Structure formats: structure tokens, C-alpha cells
Structure 1
């Protein structure tokens, strides 16, 4: 049975996903608000993310997210760490046309025919989820090909007014079904959605 391809990402109330973890994480377009997630991190969020990584069978990452992860997580050597353990020991696929030989254990570079290759990776991955974390450019491209089976959005109670967003203008109108929901003590709203076909439209106008 093919793995479920899932996306887990951090967002602001106005949909920004750029540089949640640190000021220098992603300064493209002059973005100066990196690290916006940090004031909201708590034990509730930590427990949830541990649950997410526990379901992983493999990881699919864009080049920028891969570089951030590869610079940090191999240095966390505790095999019982709920995030480092899976990341360091399970297969990782990074989509990039510029990455040469990756240094992180069990990493495969996907360079061409990305949608078809990811569909093949889904088919041969067993025992859990093929997980995307962050990786906005990659996620948007996969949305266009209807390859993402489940979206988990951790929406933080902050508005930035600028920054790269997960869902830009011009996306395909799509309906979603809410499959799970919870809120952390510091106000992060965690919503899990499953695509449910094309968006539908109607009218709330009263009958004459």
C-alpha cells in the first residue's frame, strides 16, 4: 500500500510560512521577521510534533528546508529524541537541481521529473507517512499535481503583513475536509485537512 504524502507546516494568521524558527533562517525579499514562531512554542506543541514524526516512514524536503535540517539534526545524537531519531535514521528525499553529494545519512536527491518520481516514491514507501515539513516551493508545486494527501497547519496567533505564503494567488480552487483539530496552551491552532475535490459555490441570497 502506498504511503500517504503529508504536509506539516507552521503559519501565521495571515498565511506566512517564511522563517518561523530564527531571524537568519530565510531573509529572501528582505524578510526581517524570522523567528516569529518562537514565543508560542510550548509542551503542547512539542508533544504534537513528536506524534507527527512518530508516524513518519520517510521525508520529502525542498532544498532550503533540507539545508536547515541537515545543519542541525545530525548533531542531535540521542536515538530516543522524538524528532532527531526519525530524521537521522529514516530515508530522506530532497528535491534539488544544485545539490551534489548529500552528507546526511540515507539522503537521495531528486533532480528531474519531480511529480512522477515522487509518485513512485509514494508507491514504494511503506509503514507510515512520507512527510513534507515546511518546503513551501516544493509543497506548492505538488499541490498543482494533486499529490498531497493531507495537510496539517499549525496556525500561530500573529500577523506579519509580509512574507512568503503557503497558498499564493492563482491556486486551484479546492475543497477540504477537516479531519482533526486541537489548540495549544499558547494559542496555536492545529488543523488537519484532507482534499475533498473541487471547491463548490452557491448563494446565501434570501428567496424573494
Structure 2
């Protein structure tokens, strides 16, 4: 079974909308695009490159696919992220696209959750999801996410699309790696670890 990893730049209040630029995603009148950029230093980039190196395939929603397909093919051959993403297979979940032109790209057939579940059963290594907020909600709903790679930026946005939105269901993750950069960014890698467990805390329980 292949591992599916969701990677995201995320604010302290859970926003993932348009971290990379003012015009990345203005849905809902969002005015804070580019909020992650001032915090992306050499340490953050190095960890992003290390994470990207593990990718054996990309899984993208329609909007993110279109953004990536318009920019990453322009990357130089020595760009470690661009060269990787241009080379690996790319699977696109979309109800509206009829074709995809970025090299090594394939449109998934049928319902996204069913198609991704079958993709995870295929031969190969890690499947990575970047951006693709609506698709991520579907993946969370159907418990298809095996790992989360969260780059937590120390800002509050107050509005915008959240990573853990309407698709989130109860689930437990273990922290398997973490680091804090000089710019205050916390990078955490979390692995799916079964169902949530519950307990009680307080002087009346003896657990105090």
C-alpha cells in the first residue's frame, strides 16, 4: 500500500489559502496572499526539498494542477523541486477538465475517493498532495491520508480556507519528526496512528 502525504503551509489559526503570493487564490475576497513568504528561509527551503525528494507521484486538484502546470515546467533543470515535480507521475482529480498537458499527467476516472483508494493499492512509493484544498477535504473524509507534513507559520490570518475544514473526521496522528527554524517556523511530520483515544483529567479522576 502506497503512502499518501498531504503537505501544507499553515498559519497558527489553520489557514492554508494563498501562502505563496497575492494573486494565488483570491476566493472570498481573500486579501492576505503571500503571508508565508517572509518566513521561508534557507532552512524551510532545505526541508521542503528533502520532503519533495521522497515523492514518487503527485496528486492534485484541478485548481492546483492548473497553477503548477503553468509555472513548474519553467523551472531550470537544476531546480531540485521543479525537476522532481516535472519528472514524476501526476494524477489529477477534476470533474471539469477533459485533458491534461503537463508531462506525465493523468486524469483520474470516476469519483476522486474511489480513484485515490485504487491508486494507493498500485505499485510505487509516496504520493504527495500539495495545495488542492478541496481535494484534501475529500481525502480526509474518506480516511485516505497517511501522513501530514505541516509547515506552521507564526501568523494569525483570521479568515480564509482552512486545512481542516468540512471534510475532517476524528483521527489520531503521531509526531514522527519536527524542527523549528530561525524564522520561527515549526515543521512537523505526522503519521496516521489509528482512532482517537479518550480519557479524563482532573482532581476527581486521580489523574492530576
TM-score (norm 2): 0.93
SS of the equivalent of 2:86 reads helix
Counterparts of 2:138 and 2:87, CA distance in 1: 27
Whether 1:58 aligns to 2:57 is yes
SS of the equivalent of 1:99 reads coil
What's the CA shift string for 1:39-68, capped at 9, x where partnerless? 001100111111111111110011111111
SS of the equivalent of 1:87 reads helix
Q: 5 Å matches for 1:165-176?
A: 165-168=162-165, 171-176=168-173
RMSD: 1.5
What's the CA shift string for 1:124-166, capped at 9, x where partnerless? 241x311111211111111111111111110000001100001
**Structure 1's 191 and 114: CA in aligned 2 closer, same or farther, altered over 3 A?**
same
Say which is worse superposed, 19-28 or 94-103, in terms of deviation.
Answer: 94-103
Indicate conservation of the 8 Å contact 1:57/1:125, yes or no. no
Equivalent residues, number: 205
- The aligned residue for residue 158 of structure 1 is 155
**Structure 1's 90 and 169: CA in aligned 2 closer, same or farther, altered over 3 A?**
closer
Which structure 2 segments of 5+ residues have no match?
A: none
Whether 1:9 aligns to 2:12 is no
Counterparts of 1:179 and 1:107, CA distance in 2: 31
- The aligned residue for residue 105 of structure 1 is 103
Counterparts of 2:35 and 2:181, CA distance in 1: 16
Q: 5 Å matches for 1:1-208?
A: 2-78=1-77, 80-126=78-124, 128-168=125-165, 171-207=168-204
Runs of 4+ more than 3 Å apart: none
Counterparts of 1:170 and 1:150, CA distance in 2: 16
